[in-house]
Amino acid sequence: MSQQFDVIVIGGGPGGYEAAIRAAQLGFATACIDDWTRPDGKPAPGGTCTNVGCIPSKALLQSSENFEEAGHAFAEHGIGVTGLSMDVAKMLARKARVVAQNNDGILYLFKKNKIAFFHGFGSFAGKDSDRWKVSVAGKAPAEIAGTHVIIATGSKPRALPNVPIDNVRVLDNDGALSMNAVPKRLGVVGAGVIGLEMGSVWRRLGAEVTMLEALPAFLQAVDTTIAKEAQKLFAKQGLAIQTGVAIGKVDVGSKDVTVTYTTSDGKEVKATYDHLIVSIGRVPFSEGLKGDTVGLVLDERGFIEVDGECRTNLANVWAIGDVVRGPMLAHKAEEEGVAVAERIAGQKPHLDFNTIPWVIYTSPEIAWVGKTEQQLKADGVDYRAGQFPFIANGRARAMGDTRGLVKMLADRKTDAILGVHIIGPMASELISEAVVAMEFGASSEDIARITHAHPTLSEAMREAALAVDGRTLNL
Ligand SMILES: Cc1cc2nc3c(=O)[nH]c(=O)nc-3n(C[C@H](O)[C@H](O)[C@H](O)COP(=O)(O)OP(=O)(O)OC[C@H]3O[C@@H](n4cnc5c(N)ncnc54)[C@H](O)[C@@H]3O)c2cc1C
């Protein structure tokens, strides 16, 4: 007889492994299946996020930022650096160690929570009375059965039409995080979150980076004040960003890649790069799951169709994370996973997409939550805006990083915070205060009245809140 579980999670990325942990905490006999494998054949749970996404990109962003700081920012502190050099192999080895620590951490958590981990590829194999049968293909094939199945199979990179990713010349995120030398000329198609992060890493290490973006405006989804500031700052750093570009022919040679594209003013340009990173978004991944054999419904874009609570069309089959609608973010996947486990236990968790924070880990970082000013205008919402630049923040001056600002948007009548947008040092950490505030329905006055330690960057948040009421103290 096959092994029986209350909950089977297919996919061990941030959505899947956290769903499994929460299900186990709630007392369910839980299994998690994941197929990601390290070069030595060992399991590598953690999905895209841990293996080729959030974690390795932040490791390389940190290494490259340290290199740039040592080369450019230390001097002003009186620190002289001679003979500065970059050992790319060592940087990549460190990244691999960081990834492996996270893989091992998840394996430890599976053990700690008594989750049965199956290293292999899971697929539906029909139904046995009220239990779903799931096959695991891999080194240790198995057939297991579960009352509930949570699908957390994630996403994969989108390729340019007719330009296959070879991860030699044409790179996806995996290739972009693994180049063993700094390219001289690097092209990046797509100036979104991933493109900007990858472009930043290699620019800091010395590559000439050109970013080709199809949309007419830079960072169109970001508040325009922040996007404009970002474009100015990134241009100053030497990131060449072209918007409104139409990619034509891409010729992949043995040593380089030539891209023919049309600029926003209609000029045809032929540019040659050592490598081309393609970061034009990601598509849901549910191949090989054999969902069609049990009648699982996908939408027209290939996402598994779910309701607001992550229920698919099949009884007791749920889907979460990148493989379903909504922002493709690790923390969104995690929250959905936890919420589904709690729903299975009969609880009533709630996940508000409007308070999910977004972060771009460039330098300076960009982070936001809630509505942008352009969205409020389009929705006809009456609001007040306040902003405060880091140049007027004592801690930022002491740190030597005064780039950027905090902008707060609040309802004119109720003063409820509707959105907070930051570009500046540690924006990724600062945004949490805004998330908490919005989750608790705080007003801008609430933030203005809360004591913020001095001197901290968080004082810029308080000042932006004061600015909503036209009464900043330090500007
Ligand atoms: C370069 C890059 C940087 C990123 N940075 C950030 C960031 O800083 N912050 C952030 O929030 N998000 C970031 N993301 C996005 C984030 O990685 C994803 O949103 C997140 O990983 C989605 O989690 P998931 O659990 O839905 O899927 P995934 O992480 O994709 O995990 C799915 C797992 O399921 C496995 N799998 C698939 N099918 C099967 C099957 N049938 N059987 C067994 N296993 C299967 C896959 O191999 C994989 O291990 C980044 C992405 C990239 C590419």
Tell me, what amino acid is at 445?
E
Close Cβ partners of 12 (under 8 Å, ≥ 6 residues apart): 20, 32, 33, 34, 36, 45, 46, 47, 106, 117, 152
Residue list, ligand 1 pocket, CB within 6 Å: 10-16, 33-36, 47-49, 53-54, 57, 121-123, 152-155, 173, 194, 285, 288-289, 321-322, 328-331, 333, 361
Tokens 């049965």 correspond to what residue? 116
CA of 82 to the centre of ligand 1 (A): 40
- Distance from the alpha carbon of residue 154 to the mean position of ligand 1, in angstroms: 5
Per-residue pLDDT of the chain (475 residues; tens, 9 = 90+): 689 999 999 999 999 999 999 999 999 999 999 999 999 999 999 999 999 999 999 999 999 999 999 999 999 999 999 999 999 999 999 999 999 999 999 999 999 999 999 999 999 999 998 999 999 999 999 999 999 999 999 999 999 999 999 999 999 999 999 999 999 999 999 999 999 999 999 999 999 999 999 999 999 999 999 999 999 999 999 999 999 999 999 999 999 999 999 999 999 999 999 999 999 999 999 999 999 999 999 999 999 999 999 999 999 999 999 999 999 999 999 999 999 999 999 999 999 999 999 999 999 999 999 999 999 999 999 999 999 999 999 999 999 999 999 999 999 999 999 999 999 999 999 999 999 999 999 999 999 999 999 999 999 999 999 999 999 999 9
Closest CA to ligand 1's atom 35: 11
454 among known catalytic residues: yes
Q: How far is CA 390 from CA 192, 362, 426, 459, 474, in A?
A: 24, 16, 11, 9, 11
CB 475 within 8 A of CB 463: yes
Predicted pLDDT of residue 2: 86
| Three-state secondary structure call for residue 179 | coil
Look at residue 257 in the predicted model and tell me its pLDDT: 98
Q: How far apart are CA 268 and CA 261, in angstroms?
A: 6
Q: Are 142 and 3 in contact (CB under 8 A)?
A: yes
Taking the C-alpha atoms of residue 146 and residue 23, their distance in angstroms, rounded to an integer, is 13
For residue 80, count CB atoms less than 10 angstroms from its CB and return exposed for 0-12, middle for 13-18, buried for 19 or more.
exposed
Residue 12 CB-density burial (10 A; 0-12 exposed, 13-18 middle, 19+ buried): buried
Distance between CA 438 and CA 355 in Å, rounded? 7
Q: Whose C-alpha lies nearest to ligand 1, atom 8?
A: 54
Quick one: which of 329, 351, 286, 4 has its CA closest to 146? 4
Burial level of 139, CB count in 10 A (0-12/13-18/19+)? exposed
What whole-number distance in Å separates Cα of residue 246 and Cα of residue 262? 5
Q: Which atom of ligand 1 lies closest to the CA of 321?
A: 26
150 CA to centre of ligand 1 in angstroms: 15
